Structure 1
């Protein structure tokens, strides 16, 4: 039995709004064919938001004959793809971002399995937040700085003897897991009324910037030799799935630290 491709076609299926909260971000993609194939991959799973951050071919990649050919029926997704100048712009307003990488990192966000990360993304989406899966360039993947912008790091556990996945294949696999997570979020009632609002990625970034200034004022953080303190704190908070109220508490602490130092 084939998987239904459009949620509105199945009675009691997930509202389109839940799917619309997912973004699939291709960062610095080189090959137009991968862009078209990625558009097709996400459409088959019911998604439609494709974002290209600094594509090597520029905005013209959306009209490239190879991209159009490999979109193969997902021309609408390809045509509606958003092209932005950098990854930070692609993640604007995103609450939960997942980086896909073929290699682990010593620092950065916590590691998660594809299914686990998709389930967490589904919970955030069910709470009304925007979520994103971020894929790096075909040749170099994601830089450490780009990975650190995300809340989780996912490595697809492929055959260790031959673990090379094409970019669009990775997108297809993650889109499938995200679809299952959406279906589960709808049936489990994850969007129940009264659920505490989760902090968005922008909320957390603002809090971290505020906290960093406070730590500098306390002489706890040396701005000329910061080492990995903020990176470790970023990882710590990524594990916590902060609520908006918790972010406000942390910002309030930082505010009072800065005000007390100023008065003294």
Structure 2
């Protein structure tokens, strides 16, 4: 269970935050730290400040992955949660930290990889980054002073995940919040099917976009928010792999038929 959870730091710039994040997740029993496009490159893991603030979590730093972008960091992930201090007009459904942990444990319990994605210290996650995830989480801090350090946010989420994982191992519900979590976020009826990974859904969306352009339903020069809204729709739907294959089959048939004509 613990090994299926990865913590992704996207475009982070401060070595101290990387070391502190490594320490934060190790204290909660996790060990998968992924850096997507860190500003200082792979050398950030060897920075003396990162090593000092890891404070014994050297193994987490040594095993951390440094990847070129967020897409690579989320490869193979079925359930990704974006952490942001800002609400978004468009994007995936919202959940609070406890709900997101309970839902992540549901997925991890089925053998799926899950990820929590944290943005850069200065700008956080872009809208495009958030749209790559299945849920958006805002930590409900003091509204008069809601400034959380990156590693503090990682620590909070890692603690919620630990509590949810331990509850799952004891055979209990992963938190009372699950009972009141929005139904659209739950795997629901799809829980006995093979769930689509994020890679499956991204491939389907690209395929569907080509079909919609070919049908003249989508104007690539003036796309407006169509694909963004479809991303949100499919995030709510929580697709199984077979459902993704059906949608790709439809897109393929549209493209082939238009080509024949």
Distance change in 2, residues 1:189/1:201 (3 Å): farther
- Write the distance in 2 (CA, Å) between the matches of 1:51 and 1:24: 6
Alignment length, in residue pairs?
A: 244
> Which of 242, 245, 248 pairs up with 1:248?
245
| Residue 168 of structure 2 corresponds to residue 171 of structure 1 | no
Deviation at 1:88, TM superposition (A): 1.3
Deviations 1:69-94 (A, max 9, x none): 11112111111111111111111111
Matches within 5 A, 1:86-101: 86-101=69-84
In structure 1, the partner of 2:119 is 136
Deviation at 1:189, TM superposition (A): 8.8
User: Secondary structure of 2:192's match?
Assistant: coil
Aligned residue in 1 for 2:188: none
Are 1:212 and 2:195 counterparts? no
Runs of at least 4 residues off by over 6 Å: none
Per the alignment, residue 182 of structure 2 pairs with none
SS in 1 for 2:43: helix
Q: Give me the CA root mean square deviation.
A: 1.5
| Matched position secondary structure for 2:218 | coil
- Corresponding position of 1:64: 47
Instruction: Give the aligned partner of residue 183 of structure 2.
Output: none
* Aligned position for 1:183: 166
TM-score between the two structures when normalised by the length of structure 1: 0.88
Give the conservation status (yes or no) of the 8 Å contact 1:126–1:186.
no
Match of 2:16 in 1: 33
Which consecutive residues of structure 1, in runs of 5 or more, have no partner in the other structure? 1-17
Select 1:149's aligned residue among 124, 132, 147.
132
Q: Secondary structure at the match of 1:197?
A: coil
Q: Which runs of 5+ in 2 are unaligned?
A: 174-190
Contact 1:50 1:77 in 2 (8 A): yes
User: How many angstroms apart in 2 are the aligned matches of 1:71 and 1:196?
Assistant: 39
Matches within 5 A, 1:251-262: 251-262=248-259
For residues 4 and 70 of structure 2, the distance between their equivalents in structure 1, rounded to whole angstroms, comes to: 17
Q: Secondary structure at the match of 1:52?
A: strand
> C-alpha distance in 2, partners of 1:68/1:178?
24
